Amino acid sequence: MCGIVGYIGSKNSAEVIYNGLEKLEYRGYDSAGIAVISDNIIQTRRSVGKLKNLKSNLDLNPISGNIGIGHTRWATHGKPSEENAHPHTDCSGKIVVVHNGIIENYVSIKKQLISEGHKFKSETDTEVVAHLIEKYYKNDILKAVKSALKEVRGAYALAVICADEPDKVIVARYDAPLVIAKGKNENFIASDVSALLNYARDVIFLENGDICEIKKDTINIFNQDVEVKRETQKILWDAIQAEKCGYKHFMLKEIYEQAQTIQDTFRGRLSSEKNVITLDDINITEEFLKEISRIYIIACGTSYHAGLTAKFLFESLASIPTEVDIASEFRYRDYVIDSKSLVIFISQSGETADTLAALRIAKQKGSKTLAICNVVGSSISREADNILYTHCGPEIGVASTKAFTGQLTVLYLLALDFATKLNTISKEKLDLLVKELWDLPVKVTECLKQSGRIEKIAKEFHLKNQFIYLARNINYPIALEGALKLKEISYIYAEGYAAGEMKHGPIALIDETMPVMVIATKSKVYEKVLSNIEEAKARGAKIIAVINANDKEISKKADYQIVVPEVDEFFSPLINVIPLQFFAYYVATMRGCDVDQPRNLAKSVTVE
Ligand code: M6R
């Protein structure tokens, strides 16, 4: 995920910024750059790849100055390259900008600016901000930033410097974090407090809509043109705690990030005004969809579970027959795919060997391919005909959490896009589902508040040696995913089953020693799930049920209840998986397991 560092004071800013960027390396990035002002001239150095490349560049072509901004880029718009690396400049080269987030309306702004004579040098959404500020600049950079941001829609943490005003850095925040650290006659900015801990610990976290003028000895914050005060906090975290934003593990941090990462993933692809889904990045036309024979979804592990969930979406919403396969099985199967098939590959890392090999096979067969990946520039994302990225930022915990809900978000968009193109969804249903999609971050936030309750339940069960997870229909893949999470990080033997399949065998396992986790939220199979709970209870099982508030029946039958907000059944997998992530996390930590790096597992499986 992108990182920002900035400095104003009397030190060599390039050095301070470089040190700060090093502290953000753990977030993942593909290029980096620094701009400083010296003698009213902006000097910029940018390099692709690791920070050491930027360091060599700086060693060969040193820059220095008491004010500067720097950035590590995790590509979203435009490939990783020197031209696309930040900082970006306006036409005059006097205004430079670094940015985290996504400018949703950059295409229309760019068109307008080009027609007004602006020359663009990169493929990024960020560069429009530099030119827009230039358009409004009349010897007052703060005013120009304020005017520019009135036209911008999306998420941003921005830092701007101007050669003609070398005594200030302007920063702004909307839906992307930005923090200012106060020193003595110097001030620092960063997207993440861990970048600044070696320099200062009195910090101000900016709020949405804040625009701020930072000089070496003053900080003035404005929100909607009114000057505001923000509280200063002392940060006592050590460097490792800071990387995890104070959370004990990356996995926990990543579970909590999900409201944001889901929003970041649909941002710019879902318009609020007309309920239109725009997947500009792919070329899957109405004509192709009308002739499509079948969708195949190929993936491994958690990504495979996202694929299993998507089968319900493509079949119910777009009426397209869909098959889902584990990549390592698909590779050696006699599959029937052709130019009328769409083969979707899902992979967080984009490097999973089996998924990559399956992609190559599908391409040889002449099928249209589409990848859903989190890592920009990864092998799968480069080789697929079409790519849709999840905008989750780097996932560091080996157990996948936020990448999974990001994948589901993309799959919801895709299924709704296909359904719209094929006219298989009514306008009313589409409006309803799009509205629910917009509300998902709020619902996820509500869900996250259940962590305390789940921790208590985990305490009751953490010494068990086996677990069964049950669900039906669109939530069946979530039973598989919940069981996988528990296995991976707590080493408890856990199995997910389709609840209706129980009586065909697995029920033999059930007695009073077997805990059963059941997904029992409102759905068309609610009554059926209730019967499956009765069957398990009759054999002595302890039942933990994930239910909705005001549940009348299952709440009475279950020994433990976890309440999640009610959503349309299509979105219930995305909500219901969150308590299961928490449950696995708490059980594993109570058993003293290394949740971020579980034994025998790798984050990216690049061997067959
Ligand atoms: O990077 P990918 O999504 O292709 O990885 C696939 C699996 O290896 C991955 O989901 C694995 O199952 C995770 N450890 C799940 O938590």
Report the distance separating Cα 499 and Cα 470, nearest Å: 5
Contact (CB, 8 A) for 469 and 515: no
User: With bands split at pLDDT 50, 70 and 90, how would you rate the model's confidence at 154?
Assistant: confident
Please give the mean pLDDT across all residues of the chain.
Answer: 93
Ligand 1: centre distance to CA 312 (Å): 21
Please determine, for residue 577, whether its predicted confidence score (pLDDT) is greater than 70: yes
The residue contributing the CA closest to ligand 1 atom 14 is 399
- What tokens does 272 get? 């609020």
Atom of ligand 1 minimally distant from the CA of 398: 14
Ligand 1: centre distance to CA 338 (Å): 27
Taking the CB of residue 427, how many other CB atoms lie within 10 A of it? Answer: 9
Please determine, for residue 133, whether its predicted confidence score (pLDDT) is greater than 70: yes
Mutate to test the pocket of ligand 1, among 349, 478, 480, 585 (most ligand atoms within 8 A of CB): 349
* Cβ of 548 less than 6 Å from ligand 1: no
Ligand 1: centre distance to CA 490 (Å): 17
- Note the pLDDT of residue 75: 78
* Cβ of 66 less than 6 Å from ligand 1: no
- Note the pLDDT of residue 245: 80
Annotated catalytic residue: which of 215, 464, 528, 603?
A: 603
Contact (CB, 8 A) for 311 and 408: no
* Cβ of 187 less than 6 Å from ligand 1: no
The residue contributing the CA closest to ligand 1 atom 9 is 301
Atom of ligand 1 minimally distant from the CA of 301: 12
- Note the pLDDT of residue 213: 98
* 212 in active site: no
Taking the CB of residue 5, how many other CB atoms lie within 10 A of it? Answer: 29
The residue contributing the CA closest to ligand 1 atom 7 is 301
Please determine, for residue 74, whether its predicted confidence score (pLDDT) is greater than 90: no
Please determine, for residue 15, whether its predicted confidence score (pLDDT) is greater than 90: yes
The pLDDT tens digits for 293-306 are: 999 999 999 999 99
Q: Which range among 148-157, 235-244, 347-356 shows the weakest confidence by mean pLDDT?
A: 235-244
- Note the pLDDT of residue 539: 93
* Cβ of 307 less than 6 Å from ligand 1: no
Ligand 1: centre distance to CA 348 (Å): 7
Ligand 1: centre distance to CA 254 (Å): 15
Please determine, for residue 163, whether its predicted confidence score (pLDDT) is greater than 80: yes
The pLDDT tens digits for 269-293 are: 987 666 788 887 799 999 999 999 9
Q: Which range among 91-95, 174-178, 407-411, 442-446 shows the weakest confidence by mean pLDDT?
A: 174-178
Report the distance separating Cα 192 and Cα 275, nearest Å: 33
| Three-state DSSP state, 215 | coil
- Note the pLDDT of residue 250: 93
* Cβ of 390 less than 6 Å from ligand 1: no
Mutate to test the pocket of ligand 1, among 605, 606, 607, 608 (most ligand atoms within 8 A of CB): 605
Mutate to test the pocket of ligand 1, among 300, 359, 408, 411 (most ligand atoms within 8 A of CB): 300
Residue with tokens 């971050």: 441
User: With bands split at pLDDT 50, 70 and 90, how would you rate the model's confidence at 559?
Assistant: very high
Report the distance separating Cα 601 and Cα 302, nearest Å: 13
User: With bands split at pLDDT 50, 70 and 90, how would you rate the model's confidence at 608?
Assistant: low
Please determine, for residue 238, whether its predicted confidence score (pLDDT) is greater than 90: no
* Cβ of 349 less than 6 Å from ligand 1: yes
Could you tell me which residues are beta bridge partners of residue 517?
469, 544
Q: Which domains does the chain have, with CATH numbers?
A: 3-243 (3.60.20.10), 253-446 (3.40.50.10490), 449-590 (3.40.50.10490)
User: With bands split at pLDDT 50, 70 and 90, how would you rate the model's confidence at 605?
Assistant: confident
Give mean pLDDT, residues 52-63.
94
- Note the pLDDT of residue 79: 78
User: With bands split at pLDDT 50, 70 and 90, how would you rate the model's confidence at 525?
Assistant: very high
User: With bands split at pLDDT 50, 70 and 90, how would you rate the model's confidence at 402?
Assistant: very high
Give mean pLDDT, residues 207-223.
96
Share of the chain above pLDDT 90, in %: 79
Ligand 1: centre distance to CA 299 (Å): 9
Annotated catalytic residue: which of 2, 212, 373, 392?
A: 2
* Cβ of 407 less than 6 Å from ligand 1: no
* 603 in active site: yes
Atom of ligand 1 minimally distant from the CA of 349: 1
Residues 6+ apart with CB under 8 A from 472: 498, 499, 500, 523, 525, 528, 529, 532
Please determine, for residue 513, whether its predicted confidence score (pLDDT) is greater than 80: yes
Ligand 1: centre distance to CA 589 (Å): 21
- Note the pLDDT of residue 597: 87
Ligand 1: centre distance to CA 568 (Å): 27
* Cβ of 598 less than 6 Å from ligand 1: no
Burial 43-59 (b: 16+ CB within 10 A, else e): bbbbbbeebeebbebbe
